[in-house]
Amino acid sequence: MCDACPAVPGARPGRPEPPGHPVVVIGRLSGNVSQVHALQWTGTTKPQLLFPRLESWRTMTLVTELTSRKADTTAPLIDPLVDRWSPRAFDPNAVVDEEALRTVLEAARWAPSANNSQPWRFIVARRGTAAFTTAHDAMAGFNQVWADSAAALVINIAEIADDEGKPRPWARYDLGQAVAHLTVQAQHEGLHTHQMGGFDAAALHAAFELADNLEVVSITTIGVLGDVDALPDVLRERESAPRLRKPLAELVLLGE
């Protein structure tokens, strides 16, 4: 809950007072209690037209309302690349639309790969499922703290050898490309992703009884941006830390 807007939680249902700074209101609409809406509420927009139908609500502060998380690029990039970043504050109540989930996986499916071998496999674990708990249990503690709030986890798996046991040397590279496609498409869908390597891959391999030619490489959390104030202090600071990259001149070893 945002400390700066104490008036909102106690406000009369349907007529919350504007907090005077940007928050997001998540509420239940009367007549359809299963429907949860996120409304951008800047405090300057009169929300009465929408809010009277809200039976209950809670507020959250998005870090993107406090500071830009956009990439400070030296060339004009497409929006999803500029906007993509890896948050830790996910909304623990947000559910990712099934169609959006299918769409981001479809983006991964259309990634290029060596010899079109498509050596990527995914385990999709929605929050609240047994598979999600299994993934959670394998995560390092510093990742469990925030990843539990994500709407879904995608466990990224490389097929490192074909059915005859012949190695696929580019499998991890190809998987990375597929995951990159997924993250960019997710951003385009209005979702956020945060990849992680801090987990016990062997534990997941065993738990999901994966074949020997499959290797668990990373996990991608997918979700909706949540309340930055819900994070522990150290993570809240990191959430708004400057986004830095090496200069292009350092990355291009030779550019004749």
Ligand X SMILES: Cc1cc2nc3c(=O)[nH]c(=O)nc-3n(C[C@H](O)[C@H](O)[C@H](O)COP(=O)(O)O)c2cc1C
What is the smallest separation between the CB atom of 90 and ligand X, expressed in angstroms?
12
What is the smallest separation between the CB atom of 115 and ligand X, expressed in angstroms?
24
CA dist 66 and 82 (Å) reads: 17
What is the smallest separation between the CB atom of 252 and ligand X, expressed in angstroms?
19
What is the smallest separation between the CB atom of 141 and ligand X, expressed in angstroms?
11
CA dist 61 and 22 (Å) reads: 7
CA dist 49 and 216 (Å) reads: 49
Residue of 183, 191, 227, 190 lying closest to 88 (CA atoms): 227
CA dist 255 and 241 (Å) reads: 32
For residues 118 and 143, which CB has a smaller minimum distance to ligand X in the complex? Answer: 143
For residues 17 and 79, which CB has a smaller minimum distance to ligand X in the complex? Answer: 79
For residues 102 and 243, which CB has a smaller minimum distance to ligand X in the complex? Answer: 243
Looking at the DSSP bridge assignments, the partners of residue 60 are 24
Nearest-10 crossing angle of helices 171-188, 98-109: 140
For residues 18 and 198, which CB has a smaller minimum distance to ligand X in the complex? Answer: 198
Cβ atoms of 142 and 86 closer than 8 Å: no
What is the smallest separation between the CB atom of 135 and ligand X, expressed in angstroms?
13
For residues 109 and 243, which CB has a smaller minimum distance to ligand X in the complex? Answer: 243
Which residues of this protein are in contact with ligand X, per CB under 6 A? 85-86, 143, 195-198, 218, 243
Residue closest to ligand X, measured at CB: 198
